[in-house]
Amino acid sequence: MNETEIRAGETLLEMPDSFDAGVYFIGVIHTPWTQRGACPKQGDPREGPDCRIDIADAFLPALAALESQSHGQVLYWMDRARRDLATQSPKADGATRGTFSLRSPNRPNPIASSLVTIVSVGADHVIVRGLDCLDGTPLIDLKPEKCPEWAKD
């Protein structure tokens, strides 16, 4: 299926003429997935593959003390996603749902969030487990996260 095609039951949004805010991409995420269909539906912070987040030079000082954290929240921009779908039929089976009821990358603001395990922190990168995005995805933010209950076992 072509990325610009609309499935049966899908509808388009009427998008505003301009944006409300700007975002700095602070790095790039590297994962094993180069095709959308290969990405997991949700990353696994316990057993998922290690993924590398390269931090842009201007933001390297912000990595200070991150190594003391065991878990984090990664916010990223799904730059290859559609932004104009109001309803979607994710399985192309005719069942239509609103975009806000889905984890689909196709949304007005294609921002994603994953809870991750921080594996290691280098001088210019972070290795994490638990992502579900394509290789080369722009990084918006990286935040420490309280150790989740499942990780305390």
In this predicted model, what pLDDT tens digit does every residue of 14-60 receive, in sequence order?
888 888 889 999 999 999 999 988 888 888 899 999 999 999 999 99
Q: Looking at residue 19, what is its pLDDT?
A: 84
Q: Looking at residue 2, what is its pLDDT?
A: 64
Report the distance separating Cα 69 and Cα 87, nearest Å. Answer: 38
| Digit-coded pLDDT (tens) for 73-127 | 999 999 999 999 999 987 767 789 999 998 888 999 999 999 999 999 999 999 9
Domain map (residue ranges) of the chain:
23-152
- Count CB neighbours of 57 within 10 A: 9
- CB-based contact 27:139 (threshold 8 Å): yes
Report the distance separating Cα 39 and Cα 31, nearest Å. Answer: 9
User: Helix/strand/coil (H, E, C) string of 79-92?
Assistant: CCCCCCEEEECCCC
Q: Looking at residue 1, what is its pLDDT?
A: 55
Q: Which of 99, 104, 89, 141 is nearest to 15 (CA)?
A: 99
Report the distance separating Cα 57 and Cα 45, nearest Å. Answer: 26
Q: Looking at residue 83, what is its pLDDT?
A: 93
Q: Pairing between strand 125-129 and 97-98?
A: unpaired
Residues 6+ apart with CB under 8 A from 144: 66, 69, 71, 72, 73
- Domain 23-152 class? mainly beta
Q: Looking at residue 99, what is its pLDDT?
A: 93
Report the distance separating Cα 48 and Cα 145, nearest Å. Answer: 18
Q: Looking at residue 139, what is its pLDDT?
A: 98
Q: Looking at residue 54, what is its pLDDT?
A: 98
> How much is the pTM?
0.86
Q: Looking at residue 143, what is its pLDDT?
A: 96
Q: Looking at residue 92, what is its pLDDT?
A: 64
pLDDT band at 153 (very low <50, low <70, confident <90, very high): low
Indicate the SS3 state at residue 15: coil
